[in-house]
Amino acid sequence: MTTLEGLVLTSRVRTWLDLSKELAVEDLTVIADHLIRIPRQLYEGRTDPYATQEELDAIIGLHPGQRGIRTAREALRLSRVGADSPPETLLRLALGAAGLPEPEVNVPIVDADGVLHHEPDLGYPKYRVAVQYEGAGHSDPEQVARDISREERTRALGWTEVRISRRHMVDGARPAVEKVRAALWAAGWRTGSPE
């Protein structure tokens, strides 16, 4: 329990566990990713995550027989620090469910001088494939120009950038998965390749 302006509330961690009784593992993983992500001080005014994977694990340990506990354990296993939006988490989960290698979250792309270029939402450093989910904010004309420049710099550094939008997330994200699969295939990945 926690108190906010005199009101007694369940904590974020406990609420996450309680939701395991009702939600599918993918949705619970989205929430776990949100809780454990490291916020950006500039945009959010905070530096600490709402929770850690250890705190989520601890709450599971306190309620071993609760309904939904298997869902919570699986969501925790699938959670990763770094996802900035629900679609990024859902895309990562869809890629794994389709048998593609698991991408790294916010993997840094650096140039030959060691200068950080950027950190794509998802990345496959071995294959030099960067995956960007572009939500509604990417339709602003200035953002479109920045995204095009980012893609040009990514290509100049020898990476392939795969741009995904909401329209690619239909049908279990099948169109998104196929775009990423094609980029990985072109980069030399084959089903069953050792990672």
The model's pLDDT over 46-58, given as tens digits with 9 standing for 90+, comes to 889 999 999 999 9
Q: What is the pLDDT of residue 173?
A: 96
Contact predicate 153/68, CB 8 Å: no
Average pLDDT over residues 84-104: 96
Q: Evaluate whether residue 93 is within a structural domain.
A: yes
The model's pLDDT over 133-156, given as tens digits with 9 standing for 90+, comes to 987 666 677 777 888 889 999 999
Separation between Cα atoms, residue 157 and residue 121, nearest integer Å: 17
Q: How many CB atoms lie within 10 A of CB 51?
A: 20
Q: What is the pLDDT of residue 96?
A: 96
DSSP-derived 3-state class of residue 183: helix
Contact predicate 136/157, CB 8 Å: no
Q: Evaluate whether residue 95 is within a structural domain.
A: yes
Do both 132 and 69 map to the same domain?
A: no
Separation between Cα atoms, residue 54 and residue 156, nearest integer Å: 40
The residue from 52, 78, 104 where one domain ends is: 78
The model's pLDDT over 156-185, given as tens digits with 9 standing for 90+, comes to 999 999 999 999 999 999 999 999 999 999
Q: What is the pLDDT of residue 192?
A: 66
Whether residue 63 is predicted with pLDDT greater than 70 in this model: the reply is: yes
Mean pLDDT of the chain: 92
pTM of the model: 0.88
Structural domain boundaries enclosing 54: 2-78
Task: Give the pLDDT band of residue 7 (cuts 50, 70, 90).
Answer: confident
Do both 91 and 72 map to the same domain?
A: no
Tokens found for residue 122: 């998802």
Whether residue 35 is predicted with pLDDT greater than 70 in this model: the reply is: yes
**Residue 159: CB partners within 8 Å, gap ≥ 6?**
109, 128, 129, 130
Q: What is the pLDDT of residue 146?
A: 85
Q: What percent of the chain has pLDDT over 90?
A: 76
Do both 14 and 71 map to the same domain?
A: yes
Average pLDDT over residues 20-46: 93
Do both 130 and 94 map to the same domain?
A: yes
Q: What is the pLDDT of residue 6?
A: 82
